[in-house]
Structure 1
């Protein structure tokens, strides 16, 4: 019985092929637009999430006060006995790397000019291996773990100080006791994070050099890098339970930019999807309304032969399903083709606001997004068809037969 009604619905859509083609085509374009916009948003979320996780670590381990209060002196709330804490963290099966970080501020000078810096002492060998393509070295080389007294400068800072690889500079910062200390260093390389405002202040050096400058053996925090993003929450729970004296945050807790962009895109693409959905509903409603008006006498004849209003409503809903389903499938195929084409023929996007580097335009082909969009399109088409048919199929048989 269901197959017979579906066949009737299919044949009825072929009565006016031009109208059905236009309706299915608009539904296809709407579906493709939603899938491409949603896929682009997912690509953006995934890229920003990876950048955030590679910058701070999937997890950040520190003393609770490090996250809750401002320090009066450098590393006031820093971690002691770092080697023991690292060993305990590395015992977790999901942990791949544990990278120490010493964060401090101060001045950097070339002898003629001094400027404010935001500096970070890192473990160079592991840090730059983990960061991968998210740190672009534009001159010189990256820091080496066995070499001390070397720094890497952001492009804007290097340009301000007229520094090149091999140049000598002086770092000035407050020690843990509040005194001022200075240390001569050599420029190893120049890099870009893609954020010009950050490149004007950022300095990388090794942990030993940073600790020597501020006279301490502490580190600010430990960045924990896991085998995958999905392991973040389970690992956080295990580590927090194993080390209750320390605080454990995830990359998401510190990814302010990621959260802001996601909230903005969710609103933009949510509104876009709603508008496209309304357009598709109106197009299907208009097509079905015209079909129903043309077939009013036919409806009256079927009613006179004993066909129930519910059966007729179901028939028109199936016609809407055929139109919406055909359009949705065609739109999904179009979106897939465009997504694959962007992988084969890369398109470079311009730099977003506040950044200096462009990025490749890609669209994520997410099965859940495709399934939800297709289901929504089919459901909206069926509901629109049933809604517009309900009045005519419940019309008195005599009135329907007399319709001109």
Structure 2
């Protein structure tokens, strides 16, 4: 084996120019595959981080809420959610895994700006800002995600954050400083007494915990006031006067046009009044994504062991966000296609080189066969030569890819991915991705060996006499 390797190395160096050309083709192929693979990894980790920051790794919901709850969220409210949260936080198995556990309430309603005479349906959510801030700091994979505190942090109790699309519809562009937007109606009068008040029939529905009736509604700073009308679980209407403190672009126009966020306590008061409050989900964020299967299994045990939680189920973020799997599958298909194309090019390049080598050394093959070398030894010699060039190419290609990845990561390049409102740095994630590098190197070695196999087989089957007479 040692002699075969030494002889293969000498043969590689015999025609340096041809060997260098072949190696460079494989190096470029290896580099391209690694760079694209590293970029794909970066996209995958970025998506995962974004979903986990906003929704957690796991969510406990009422059974079938994911499938049917969007039409009537109040029908799938979770009782005893506080008991469940305490149970999860105190569980000895889950406690080391947990980063945050927080309740969320999502519901539908009609948001209006009665001072402007406009309204539309909205998708509202009640959250605990302090818990959401903790979740947004999660960044296990060190992505370029810039975590921003929830705008509700430190705001008044009846504060709300709305989407920029909703702000345009409600004609709050000026007060909320929405760019590329002009309010269709004249500016609202600064004097609340001279401005149109909420209609009497709606003002009568305002909960005491909310604004306190028509007089309170009229005294509110109506330049950013939004009235939210919802139906409680019994079908009766409730309304609250909220103060819009900010308009945020959520990245998806369909959501941006209906988005509204407020404090969980305000949302529960509006939706349930004096009835026992509920939530539609309990978000669970872990320290490490790898703990997700174990945590999900443990939570399922807890739910199955208490009759109060019999109607609850636990879902992971991939089930809740099908686009994560779809985007990964798309990039996986593109990566496979690029890898296959590059592999075919390398295959024909190395095969052509090895065919030329066999043709030039026909007489040497005859001499080796005449002194007792078996056909297997001839095949092994050429296979070793092809794999040696593949190994050199894998080492050089990996080094070059790592250097180029570092240069790209420090170049400051950025792009605007779908569903984001802030530019994201272009990152090629190769450092620490040993599995990707190893699979690419082994793939290149396999292609190099396959390329050398047919020429080596043809050379080993040469007739000894014919080979000796070859000029």
TM-score normalized by structure 2? 0.81
Distance 1:284 1:38 in 2: 23
Give 1:203-242 correspondences, 5 Å limit: 203-215=260-272, 216=275, 217-242=277-302
CA shift for structure 1 position 87: 0.3
Question: Is contact 1:74-1:175 (8 Å) kept?
Answer: no
Distance 2:445 2:282 in 1: 50
Give 1:251-266 correspondences, 5 Å limit: 251-266=317-332
> What is the aligned partner in structure 2 of residue 24 from structure 1?
23
> What is the aligned partner in structure 1 of residue 198 from structure 2?
none
CA shift for structure 1 position 73: 4.3
User: Which whole-Å deviations, capped at 9, do the CAs of 1:187-239 have from their partners, x for residues lacking one?
Assistant: 12222333333222211101111112212511111001111111111001001
2:64 is paired with a residue whose SS is helix
Output the aligned Cα RMSD: 1.9
Question: Is contact 2:104-2:127 (8 Å) kept?
Answer: yes
User: Which whole-Å deviations, capped at 9, do the CAs of 1:251-301 have from their partners, x for residues lacking one?
Assistant: 111121111101111111111111111111111100010011011011111
> What is the aligned partner in structure 2 of residue 13 from structure 1?
12
Q: Which runs of 5+ in 1 are unaligned?
A: none
Distance 1:364 1:295 in 2: 44
Q: Which runs of 5+ in 2 are unaligned?
A: 138-144, 177-220, 305-309
> What is the aligned partner in structure 1 of residue 437 from structure 2?
370
> What is the aligned partner in structure 2 of residue 41 from structure 1?
40
Given the alignment of the two structures, is residue 243 of structure 1 paired with residue 309 of structure 2, yes or no?
no
Distance 1:373 1:264 in 2: 19
Give 1:121-270 correspondences, 5 Å limit: 121-132=126-137, 142-144=151-153, 147-163=156-172, 164-165=175-176, 167-215=224-272, 216=275, 217-244=277-304, 245=310, 246-270=312-336
Distance 2:245 2:383 in 1: 70
> Aligned pair in 2 of structure 1 residues 72, 307: CA closer, same or farther (>3 Å)?
closer
> What is the aligned partner in structure 2 of residue 116 from structure 1?
121
CA shift for structure 1 position 100: 0.8
Give 1:306-385 correspondences, 5 Å limit: 306-349=372-415, 351-353=416-418, 355-365=420-430, 366-385=433-452
Distance 1:281 1:126 in 2: 54
Distance 1:318 1:223 in 2: 56
Distance 1:353 1:304 in 2: 67
CA shift for structure 1 position 146: 7.6
Distance 1:205 1:24 in 2: 61
CA shift for structure 1 position 331: 1.0
> What is the aligned partner in structure 2 of residue 103 from structure 1?
106
CA shift for structure 1 position 71: 6.7
1:262 is paired with a residue whose SS is helix
Distance 1:329 1:181 in 2: 68
CA shift for structure 1 position 180: 2.2
The alignment of Structure 1 onto Structure 2 pairs a total of residues equal to 399
1:194 is paired with a residue whose SS is coil
User: Which whole-Å deviations, capped at 9, do the CAs of 1:162-199 have from their partners, x for residues lacking one?
Assistant: 32357111111121111222110001222233333322
Given the alignment of the two structures, is residue 296 of structure 1 paired with residue 362 of structure 2, yes or no?
yes
User: Which whole-Å deviations, capped at 9, do the CAs of 1:44-76 have from their partners, x for residues lacking one?
Assistant: 111111111222211101221323434764421
Distance 2:161 2:401 in 1: 43
1:75 is paired with a residue whose SS is helix
1:76 is paired with a residue whose SS is helix
Distance 1:280 1:74 in 2: 56
> Aligned pair in 2 of structure 1 residues 344, 70: CA closer, same or farther (>3 Å)?
closer
> What is the aligned partner in structure 1 of residue 197 from structure 2?
none
CA shift for structure 1 position 42: 1.0
2:101 is paired with a residue whose SS is strand
CA shift for structure 1 position 17: 0.9
Question: Is contact 1:325-1:378 (8 Å) kept?
Answer: yes
Question: Is contact 2:42-2:427 (8 Å) kept?
Answer: yes
Question: Is contact 2:56-2:285 (8 Å) kept?
Answer: yes
> What is the aligned partner in structure 2 of residue 86 from structure 1?
85
2:251 is paired with a residue whose SS is coil
Distance 1:38 1:265 in 2: 9
The structure number with the bigger radius of gyration is 2
Distance 1:134 1:90 in 2: 28
1:363 is paired with a residue whose SS is coil
Question: Is contact 1:296-1:400 (8 Å) kept?
Answer: yes
